[in-house]
Structure 1
Amino acid sequence: SWEYKVGIFHDHADHEINLSGEFSPILKAGGFDAVIGNPPYVLIADTDAKKYLHSFYKHSTGKPDLYRYFIERSHQILKPKGQFGFIIPNTLLTIPASQKLREYLLTDGGLTQIVHFLGAVFSQVSVNSIIIFTVKGLTNQSIEIIEDKNKIPSLITLNAAIQQKRFIEKNLWLSNEGIKFSLSFTTEIAAIIEKLKIQSVELSSIAKYSLGMQIYHHTMHTQQQIKERVYHSDTQADEHFWPESTGRNVLRYHFINTFKSYAAYGKWCYSKPTWEFCSEPRILIREITSRTLMGVTTNTIHIPTKAVIIIIPQKIHLHYLLGLLNSQLMGFYVRTTGEKGTQRLFPRISLTTLRKLPIYQIDFNNPTDKASHDKIVQLVEQMLAFNKQLAAAKAPQTKTLLKRRIDATDKQIDEWVYQLYDLTAVEIEIVKRG
């Protein structure tokens, strides 16, 4: 049976864990005292399996990640006040597909503790891990948070992290958009996030956006076509081929205008942005981020890959928007609220997060607003020029001078953005600690 293959221990005679057999007395008595484990981190591709999972389990949506169904099934077989502990990917904390499961864990699941590892727990797996603990049905008011921030976690670093444990009120997460388990959330941070939203509009209302192009996919192309990269070329083979840009071309305030290959743009692509996203003046954001977003403007014709998010402002100045996106404040917002911003190994910004970024809309009839807008545009244009000069510089002294100018200008942009959003000195310090 399919359940036997994936191991969500259902009642089948040939199953290794026969719940209706050897464990029948336990289930009749109300369930297990405890369930602990390390479930498989696997996406299910089988269509029938997906239908089954979505019909049998009510707390997970979207892509069928097995570990989420293991969590739900484990709680089904736990007795009231039974204890649960799993080590799982930290995607549970924020991704939209886990929203219903997060709500269950906070309400009926009795979530008590989250241990977050910023380094890789498993040497052979590139995944950020957490351990979650619950007491089924417990009505606690706060969650204990332990964060091991060491790059190579161990019992020593974990014991040190336990000494620094803290608590987050459940209501902060229940009132958080998407019921995200934002581990850095405090009442003060929640207030800053709300302040940014109140005086802003979402980016989706003032700009068009798209992911870059993905040419190959097994549903459209043969393994040989994918292996041979038949829609790529070292030269511009015909009118369909254009320079291909990747995340490596995109730096903060600088676009590397050299390309390793050409890609064919056409109906053979698995997914592609409309042509305007490859040709019009636009902002490129690298999907994999750091403490701040990495964005730059460009107007040259090239085809960004799916590692790049493309933005075409419609009701806002290109350089003003770039200044906001690259600011320390917006980086703080993404790390705090984004569903992929918690990753340490590969922190990302998704389209879902990007479209909701709070963009301060300038009132050009307000002299203060207009002055702030014009100053940010001026500073961003300086940043673009300085970075272009730095890329071309040869002399060490020239490079040092330009780096100082870039750092100073970057800080000025941050200060103007803080002023624009009316942050207090205390709030600015919270953002900087981020």
Structure 2
Amino acid sequence: MGVVNPLNPKYVSKLKILDPACGSGSFLLGAYQYLLDWHRDWYVANDPEKWATGRTPALYQSGKSEIVRLSAHDEVRNLSSTQIGDPNSQIRNWQLTTAERRRILLNNIYGVDIDPQAVEVTKLSLLLKVLEGESEQTIVKQLKMFHERALPDLGNNIKCGNSLIGTDFYNNPLNPPLLRGNPDIPLRKGGEGVVTHLAGNGVLSDEERRKVNPFDWEKEFPEIMKNGGFDAVIGNPPYVRQEGLGDLKEYFQHKYTVYHGMSDLYAYFIEKGVSLLRDKGIFGYIVANKWMRANYGEPLRKWLKRQCIAQIVDFGDLPVFQQATTYPCILVIGKDKPPSAFISTQVKTLEFESLEGYVKENRHSVKLSTLDDTGWSLTDERSSALLNKLKKTGVPLKEYVKGKIYYGIKTGLNEAFVIDEETRNKLFSEDTKSKEIIKPFLLGRDIKRYQPPTGNQFLIFTRRGIEIQKYPAIEKYLSQYKERLMPKPKGWKGSNWKGRKPGTYKWYEIQDAVDYYAKFEKPKIIVPCIVQNASYTLDDTGFYSNDKTSIIVTGDLYLLGTLNSRVADFFMHSISSTKQGGYFEYKPMYFSQIPIRTIDSSNPSDKSYHDSVVAFVRQMLELHKRSASAKTDHDKTVIQRQIDATDRQIDQLVYELYGLTEDEIKIVAEGSP
């Protein structure tokens, strides 16, 4: 919006600003307030007496000097002069007339929301803003002056409808423009039945059709769309997870380039918002930042690289919205050709006077050519260069271990399948065969860096195809949870299903197929999914682990040392998703990318480095065992000092293996505290 500052009210009156998911109108109110402030400032700076006269004056004076809010940047000044730029000058207090405030609202502000109540709240809020600061006396005076109602009808500005779904939702499936709407998406076999599936043959009831509420942009805003679209699209689209999209996914799949089966609703709002812009228009949303690194964000990332990204401001895990954990970012896009680079800022704190000032001090340029479709890392040029160097020096972990990376076990109902030692012993006493399918079980919180895994939980591992009648004690035990263990039938309608998700499993079986279950009994590296820093450890005792963990099936101590090094941690902190509290997601989709420096066993130098890392890792494992059994605080302190020193030695070896310079080591230290 800063682009309006050097312009004049006549030009600004042509600007059309839209929030396509306006909710209760917060963003529209902000935009409207900005425009009110800007107009008042401009009039006062350009002969206010002139703008306070005539048939439709834009200004009037309150008749006394006072401190008032001057600009859209919330500056407070003592107004007593026509020189707006000088806070020490003296001018009289000027205000916009109600007629001028009404004109600005009708000319500039537009919104759409699917919720009719939200639409009415937005209208009311904007109307109250028109009258803000007025008294009965000033309103009556202006009504006599202008001979028209004080409050406008906002029916042509704020409308109810589904911004994402057009009237092609109901088109004849034999000739569906629905499937022709996006030339970038190829038709898939059977696609011609999409509309019938969604809107016909009773799949959607009349009530469901009303809830869909398709919106025709060309019909509802004919002049704006005829002129190419809106000048600005702003907002904070709803956070609706893919599970809540239901049958509408079929429509999104054929209508939106950014479609992914696991994508949240905001991805479609981004594509739609940009499509509603005129040439040279500007788009600005605050949305979750998960699209940058999540698998489901790949179509969106590819699409964004073809757009004119102007700026991304990433707040990481900062609590921008006090009532919700949303991991927000601000995404600004222009309707223009893609640039070679854009501005990015990683916001580290909310303790700043203005976001604009913070961004100016902390921004850096990101080249589009450095962004990988598998995940975006918006690092500065130095960090980006180091990441590229690491990638060139090693091979991805997934390749290094020949794909032997697996998720932990998701039961679908831990309350039934995860038991304590007392319950395990009871099941053993009732039927000794129970021992065959009860496994020692680790939770994510049980796994610590280099520490020998210990846990007091056990898993009833009723994998797919198991003959439950052979284990009567376990069948009896699980039967108490039977209603909650039942898989949801495919045809089930409604939201009150008490059991587990749909699937081909039987009620007594683990929810997900774990065909690789035998891998848990082999030597393996285990890592929890949510950690602040690398927390890999070795297990060679046959623990199974839950879905908050992942395993790498190898006993390679050189690999364990590399993964726990600051170099690997720096890489992970650069590419993985953040969680609140300074945590990161250490999931296979991320850590499988860690570049591992391969060793040439015929090269004496390589072999020496390898053997040194292995020796120190063995020492680390032994030190952690000793620490776990230490009797006194003094003993623990002494051992911890040895652990810290050994850690530093491993880090130094890894720095040298990757050929890092002193400056690059400093970058690693900054990126993996």
- TM norm structure 1: 0.87
From 257, 260, 264, give the equivalent of 1:61.
Answer: 260
SS at match of 1:71: helix
> Aligned equivalents of 2:279 and 2:375: distance in 1?
25
1:385 offset after TM fit, Å?
Answer: 1.2
CA–CA distance in structure 2, aligned partners of residues 273 and 246 of structure 1: 20
Query: Structure 2 CA distance, aligned partners of 1:22 and 1:62?
Result: 30
1:189 paired residue among 383, 387, 395: 383
* C-alpha distance after superposition, 1:229-248 (max 9, x if no partner): 33233232323121221111
Matched residue type, 1:105: L
Q: Secondary structure at the match of 1:169?
A: strand
Task: Work out whether residues 301 and 373 of structure 2, in 8 Å CA contact, stay in contact via their aligned partners in 1.
Answer: no
Does the CA contact (< 8 Å) of 2:230 and 2:276 recur in 1? yes
Question: Displacement, 1:260?
Answer: 3.4
Q: 1:210 aligns with which of 406, 411, 434?
A: 406
| Pick aligned residue for 1:146 from 330, 345, 365 | 345
Distance in structure 1 (CA, Å) of the matches to 2:217 and 2:296: 28
In the other structure, the counterpart of 2:635 is: 398
Q: Which amino acid aligns with 1:384?
A: L
Q: CA deviation at 1:212?
A: 0.5
Residue 346 of structure 1: CA displacement? 4.2
Deviation at 1:17, TM superposition (A): 6.1
Q: Does 1:231 align with 2:430?
A: no
After superposition, residues 4-153 of structure 1 pair within 5 angstroms as 7-11=162-166, 15=213, 19-45=217-243, 46-108=245-307, 110-118=308-316, 119-150=318-349, 153=350
Shift of 1:294: 0.7
The corresponding residue for 1:299 is 540
Q: Match of 1:183, as an amino acid? A: L
Deviates more, 1:328-337 or 1:8-17: 8-17
Post-superposition CA distance 1:322-359 (Å, at most 9, x none): 00010000011112234x25876541022122223211
- DSSP-derived class of the 2:631 partner: coil
Question: Which residue of 312, 317, 330 maps to 2:568?
Answer: 330
**Matching residue of 1:289:** 531
8 Å contact kept, 1:241–1:262:
yes
Query: Which structure has the bigger radius of gyration?
Result: 2
Alpha-carbon distance in 1 for matches of 2:338, 2:236: 25
User: Which shows bigger deviation, 361-370 or 265-274?
Assistant: 265-274
- Equivalent positions of 1:419-430 (< 5 A) are 419-430=656-667
The answer to whether the 8 Å contact 2:450/2:536 transfers is yes
More relative contact order in 1 or in 2 (CA 8 Å, sep 6+)? 1
Query: SS at the partner of 2:416?
Result: coil
Aligned length: 411
Paired residue type of 1:231: F
1:310-349 paired onto structure 2 within 5 Å: 310-313=551-554, 318-338=556-576, 340=577, 346-349=583-586
**2:437 pairs with 1:200:** no
User: Does the CA-based 8 Å contact 1:142-1:167 persist in structure 2?
Assistant: no
SS, match of residue 68 in structure 1: helix
Matches within 5 A, 1:346-361: 346-361=583-598
The one-letter amino acid paired with 2:643 is I
Q: 1:384 aligns with which of 614, 621, 624?
A: 621
Aligned residues of 1:341 and 1:349 also touching (Cα < 8 A): no
CA-CA distance at 1:131 after TM superposition: 0.9
How far does residue 20 in structure 1 lie from its aligned partner after superposition? 3.6
1:231 to 1:139, Cα distance in 2 relative to 1, 3 A: closer
Q: Using the alignment, how far apart are the partners of 2:166 and 2:538 within structure 1? A: 58
**Cα distance between partner residues in 1 of 2:237 and 2:581:** 21
**Aligned pair in 2 of structure 1 residues 405, 184: CA closer, same or farther (>3 Å)?**
same
1:179/1:230 Cα in 2 relative to 1: closer, same or farther (>3 Å)? closer
